[in-house]
Structure 1
Amino acid sequence: MKQLKLVLIGLLILSCNSEKKEKISEIPDTFTKLTSLVDAFAENIIKKGNSNSFAVAIYKDGEMYQNYYGEIDKGGNNKPNDSSLYEIASITKTFTGSLVAKAVLAGKISLDDDIRKYLEGDYSNLEFEGQPITVKHLLTHSMGLKNKLTKGFEAIRNKVTSGTYDFKTDSYTMDDLLLELKEVEVNKKPGTMYTYNSLGPELLAYILEKVNKQPFKRQMNTLFKELGMNDTYLDESIKYKNRLINGYKGDTLAPIDHNPVYGAAGGAISTLPDLSQYMKFLVDNKAEPWVKEASRLLFEDKEEDEQVGYLWQNMGFAEKEGYYYSKTGTSNRVQSGVLICPDSDYGIIVMVNNTSDEALNDWVKLFFRDIEPMLITYPKLNLASIFRIDFNENPTKAYQNFRTHKKDTLIYDFDLRDLNNFGYDLLNDKQNHKAIEVFKFLTEEFPENANIYDSLGESYFITKDYKNALISFKKALELNPDMKTSRNYIKKIEELKLPK
C-alpha cells in the first residue's frame, strides 16, 4: 500500500499446492515459529524508541495470535492489555459502511439514490452539471465538494485536534450539519474524484436512521453484538475514559479524540480482542452476502491511486494473496490499521499509541515490511524474515542458517526483494557497512542477479568506496545491459574525475 494512506503494500498470495500445504501443516509449531518472529520484529522496533507501545493481531488459516509490546507511558511499566480501549478513529467508517451494505441488500437504500431523497428542504446546491450526489458518492469520498468540511464541523475538529474541545459545552449536531449543508459548494462532478472527508459517513448515518427507523447508535451497537464485539463503543470516550489508552505525539500527551455529529466517521473505541474478532469474522464469513457487499470495490480514482468500497480503502487484487481490502484510522493518540485478505484467509491488525512521524513510520514498517510478508508465505516460513532477525543477532549465524534452509522449499520460502530491501533498511539507518555485508552475501548466493550487484554498488558509493562501486556497477551491467541505475552511477563516478 501507500505510506500512510496506507499504501506501502506490495501484497502477494500463497501459491503452494494443496498436497504440499497439507504436509507443511503437519510440521509441529509452525504457527508458533511465525509468532515468535512477529514478537522479535515488534520488540526490535520498540527498542528504537520512537513508539510507546504496539498492539498486534494476526489471523491466518483459523489461527489467531495477539500480543502487546512496550509501555503505554514510557517508563510507566504499564503494558497494554485486553482491557485497554483504543480510539480506532476512521476504522469506524467500515462499520457505518457495513450497515449501508445491509440496507442496500434489504432494498431500503439504492447506491444510486440522490441523497436529497432523504433530506427535507431545498438542497438544490447538492449537484454539479445535473449530476446529484448519491449514496455511492458518500461511501466513496467522491462527493465533489469544494471544501472537505463545513465551517462548523471544521471548527469543532480544530478544537479537538488542539485539545481545546470541551465535552460539556462544545457541540455540533446533525441539525447544524443539515443547516450548513445548504451552503456547501459542489464544484466537481460527483463520482469523478476522490477527496477524503468525514461528512459522507455522517450523512449516511442520518440516512440509516431514516430507513431503519431507529437511532444510529443503537444500530451500531446491534452490529457490534452481531460481530461478537462486546467491548466496543460508539461515542463513549468520556464514559470509558479510565480504560482509554493514553496516546502521544512524540513525547507530548495528546488530547482525547472526538468525532462530531453521530461519530459515524471516527467515533468508536475498541479493544484488541474485539478488533481481532471483527477481523476473524470478515475472513471466516467472506461468503456472507453483506460481507461480500460491504467489501466490494465501488470506485477507483486512478490519478490519486485510490480504490474505495463501502468506506473500505486500498482495495484490489495482488499477485499472490488475491483480493484484499483495508482501512486505517488516525486519532490524536492512536494510529491503527486493519488489513483483510479473504482469498488467502488472513488478516492483520497493528495499533501504536504515538502519532509522531517517526512512530508512524515504524508502524508502517512493522505492518507491511515485517509482518505481512510472513503471512504471505505461511504456512511456509519466510526465510527472508528469519535472516533479518538472525543477522541482527549474529551475521555468521544468519549466513549459515540461510544457506542451510534455502534449498528446503517444502518448509521455507522467500522473496529476494525482501532481502534486498533489508540491505536498504540498513543504509537508511546509517548502518552502511552492515548493508555492504548483506549485499556482498547476496551476490555470493545469487551471482546471476544484476539488481543485487547494483545495490552493492550503491552501498559502496554511499561510503565513497568508488573503486568497488565501479566494479559492482559494471558487473550489474554485464548481467543486465538495461540496468539504468548502474549506468547512471558509473557516469557520476566518472564525473568525479578521481585520481587513478
Structure 2
Amino acid sequence: MKKIVYIIVCLTIIFGCENNEETQKAVAVEDDNFSQLTSLIDHFAEENLSKGNANSFAVAVYRDGKMYQNYYGTINGNQTNKPNDSSLYEIASITKTFTGSLVAKAVLAGKLNLDDDIRNYLEGDYPNLEFEGQPITIQHLLTHSLGFKTKTPPKLEAFNKRMNSGENIDSIKPYTIQDLLEELKTVELNKKPGTHYAYTSVGPELLAYILEKVNTKPFKEQLKIFLDDIGMHNTYLNESEKHLNNLVRGYDGEELAPVDYCPIYGAAGGAISTLPDLSIYMKYLIDNKELPWVKEASRQLFEDTEEDETVGYLWQNIGFAKEEGYYYSKTGTSNGIQSVVLICPDSNYGMIVFVNNTSDEAFNVWVNLTYRDIEPLLIKYPKLNLTSIFRKDFSDNPSIAFQNFRELKNDTINYSFSIRELNNFGYDLLNEKQNEKAIKVFQFLTKEFPDNANLYDSLGEAFFISEEYDNALQNFKKALQINPDMKSSKDYIKKIEEKKSK
C-alpha cells in the first residue's frame, strides 16, 4: 500500500512539474504576444501622428486582465510637453455614462422606475411635456428620445454658444437648473416620446435634478461617492478652472480651443479625468460585468433604425457582433478633445483613445487609429493580427512584409488575418495617393489568393486610378473570369472602353 502511494506521489510530482512547465510556457507565449500587440499599437499611433493632423494621442487598452497605457506626441508642439498620468482630459459626453450609472442604481434600489412620468419629480405644472397622450419618462431622458420640436431650449442653446465661443465665464450669467425648469414650461413636443432619437444635454441634466430628489444628496456628492467606490480619485466635475496646470488644452485645427464648460450640474459633459482614472472605469466595467448595476447600466433601452442609433443608460452604439460579442461605447467631444471608451464584456477587452484636436482631419485620424488600427488587434488576442503585422512591416520594408506574411499565414494557432482587412490596406494607400505602393500590395495579394475575384478588381482599380488602362483591363477581365457577376469590374471595363474610343 505504501509503495503504491509512493508511486502515485512520484507520478504526481513528475506530471505536476510537466504541467507547470507547460503552463509557464503558455504564459510566456501570451506575455510575448501582448508585448507584440502593444508594440503594434505604438507603431500605429506614431504613424497616425506623423500625418500632422493632431498634436497628441493617449491610448489605453485592456484585454484578459492585462492593461497597457501610453502617450504619443506633445500637447502643444513643445517637445517637452508630453501628456502623462497626471494630465487631465475633458471627457465631455462620457460624463453621461456616470449619470446613467447612478440612475441604474436608483432603479435597482426601487427609487426610480424607467416608466415614471418625469413630471412626478418636477415642481409646477407641465402639461406640454407629453405628446399624443405619451408623457416624457425617465427612459426617454436616458435615451435622447424626448420628442422636442427643438432639441435644446433656446436660452440654453444661446448660453452654450456663448461658452463655446470662448467668452470669459465670469462675464456670463450662469444658466441654472431653475432656468431649465422655467424653459421646460415653454418647449413644444412634435413627436411621441420614445420614438425618435435626438441627441441633447437636457435629459442628463434633468436626471441629475431627479437624482437629487430621490437620493436627497447633491448630484456632485453622489458622483464623487460613485467614483470613489470604483477607485477613481482623479476625476472631477465642473472643476476645469481649478486644475488648469494639468488640463490638456485641445485644438480645433490650428486654433487653441477654449476650455469646455457644461452648465447646470455638468451631468451631460462636465467631467475631466486622467487616462489612468478612466482606465480604472473601463477595467471595472469589464471585470464586474455580472454586477447587477453594471448589467443594468449597460443594457440597451432604445433603438432608432432611421438614425441607426442604439442607446441604453446614456451609453450608445450598443450591439452584438459575431466575434466581439456584446459591446457598448461612448464618445466625448469637447471644444478641443475627442475621446472614446469602448467596452466589450463578452470578449474581456476595452479601449480608450484621446486626441487633443477636433478638426475634421484629426477626427478621421482618431477614428482610423481607434477602429481600423487598434480594435482588430484586440478582437483576436491572444492570436496576433497578421494583417496589422503586414501593414507595419510594409511601411518599413515591403519585401520583408511579403516574406513574413508567407511564412506566418498558415500558422492559425498564433496568427489570424482577414483578406478584407488586407484589401482595405491597399485602399488606404490609394486614398493617401500612394498608388505605386497600393499596386504592390494588390499584386502581392492576387498572387497569395489567386481565386479571389475582389482582389483582382481592386488591383484593376489601382491601375485605373494610375491611368494604366491596359493593366487595369487585364485585371478586371481576370476578376470576371473568377466571378462573372463582379459588377464593379464590368463598370470599369465600360469606362476604359469609353476612354479608348475617344
What is residue 481 of structure 2 aligned with on the other side? 478
- Give the 5 Å matches for 1:258-297: 258-297=261-300
Shift of the alpha carbon at 1:207? Answer: 0.5
Residue 202, structure 1, aligned to residue 205, structure 2: yes
What is residue 454 of structure 1 aligned with on the other side? 457
What is residue 146 of structure 1 aligned with on the other side? 149
Residue 54, structure 1, aligned to residue 86, structure 2: no
Of residues 433, 448, 452, the one that matches 1:445 is: 448
Residues in 1 aligned to 2:467 and 2:335: alpha-carbon distance in whole angstroms: 43
Q: Secondary structure at the match of 1:260?
A: coil
Q: Secondary structure at the match of 1:348?
A: strand
Q: Tell me the amino acid that sits aligned with residue 476 of structure 2.
A: F
- Give the 5 Å matches for 1:10-409: 25-27=27-29, 28-167=31-170, 169-409=172-412
What is residue 7 of structure 1 aligned with on the other side? none
Residues in 2 aligned to 1:231 and 1:443: alpha-carbon distance in whole angstroms: 52
Structure 1 residues 343-366: Cα deviation after superposition (integer angstroms, max 9, x where no partner)? 000001000001111111100000
Between Structure 1 and Structure 2, whose CA radius of gyration is higher? 2
Structure 1 residues 213-248: Cα deviation after superposition (integer angstroms, max 9, x where no partner)? 100000011111011100000111111112111111
Deviates more, 1:481-490 or 1:374-383: 481-490
Shift of the alpha carbon at 1:75? Answer: 3.2
Shift of the alpha carbon at 1:165? Answer: 4.2
Shift of the alpha carbon at 1:47? Answer: 0.9
Residues in 2 aligned to 1:165 and 1:310: alpha-carbon distance in whole angstroms: 33
Size of the aligned set, in residue pairs, is 480
Residues in 2 aligned to 1:100 and 1:262: alpha-carbon distance in whole angstroms: 15
Q: Tell me the amino acid that sits aligned with residue 152 of structure 1.
A: K
Residues in 2 aligned to 1:292 and 1:24: alpha-carbon distance in whole angstroms: 32
Identity, in percent, stands at: 68
Q: Tell me the amino acid that sits aligned with residue 145 of structure 1.
A: F
Residues in 1 aligned to 2:128 and 2:403: alpha-carbon distance in whole angstroms: 69
Q: Secondary structure at the match of 1:344?
A: coil
Residues in 2 aligned to 1:76 and 1:461: alpha-carbon distance in whole angstroms: 43
Structure 1 residues 263-320: Cα deviation after superposition (integer angstroms, max 9, x where no partner)? 0000000000000000000000000000000000000001111000000000100111
What is residue 413 of structure 1 aligned with on the other side? 416
Shift of the alpha carbon at 1:167? Answer: 3.7
Deviates more, 1:465-474 or 1:22-31: 22-31
Residues in 2 aligned to 1:22 and 1:300: alpha-carbon distance in whole angstroms: 46
Shift of the alpha carbon at 1:108? Answer: 0.5
CA contact (8 A) 1:259 1:265 kept: yes
Residues in 2 aligned to 1:480 and 1:232: alpha-carbon distance in whole angstroms: 56
Shift of the alpha carbon at 1:170? Answer: 2.8
Residues in 2 aligned to 1:63 and 1:167: alpha-carbon distance in whole angstroms: 45
Residues in 2 aligned to 1:35 and 1:76: alpha-carbon distance in whole angstroms: 23
Residues in 1 aligned to 2:277 and 2:312: alpha-carbon distance in whole angstroms: 23
Residues in 2 aligned to 1:203 and 1:496: alpha-carbon distance in whole angstroms: 62
Structure 1 residues 1-29: Cα deviation after superposition (integer angstroms, max 9, x where no partner)? xxxxxxxxxxxxxxxxxxx9998654151
Residues in 2 aligned to 1:480 and 1:224: alpha-carbon distance in whole angstroms: 57
Judging by fraction of residues, say which structure has more helix.
2
Q: Secondary structure at the match of 1:189?
A: coil
Residues in 2 aligned to 1:282 and 1:122: alpha-carbon distance in whole angstroms: 39
- In structure 2, stretches of 5+ residues that fail to align are 1-21
Q: Tell me the amino acid that sits aligned with residue 448 of structure 1.
A: D
Q: Tell me the amino acid that sits aligned with residue 283 of structure 1.
A: I
TM-score (norm 2): 0.94
Q: Which has the higher contact order (CA 8 A, sep 6+)?
A: 1
Q: Secondary structure at the match of 1:359?
A: helix
Q: Tell me the amino acid that sits aligned with residue 31 of structure 1.
A: F
Over the aligned positions, Cα root-mean-square deviation in angstroms equals: 1.4
Q: Tell me the amino acid that sits aligned with residue 59 of structure 1.
A: Y
Residues in 1 aligned to 2:59 and 2:159: alpha-carbon distance in whole angstroms: 32
TM-score (norm 1): 0.94
Of residues 471, 479, 488, the one that matches 1:468 is: 471
Deviates more, 1:24-33 or 1:217-226: 24-33
Shift of the alpha carbon at 1:250? Answer: 1.1
Shift of the alpha carbon at 1:485? Answer: 1.0
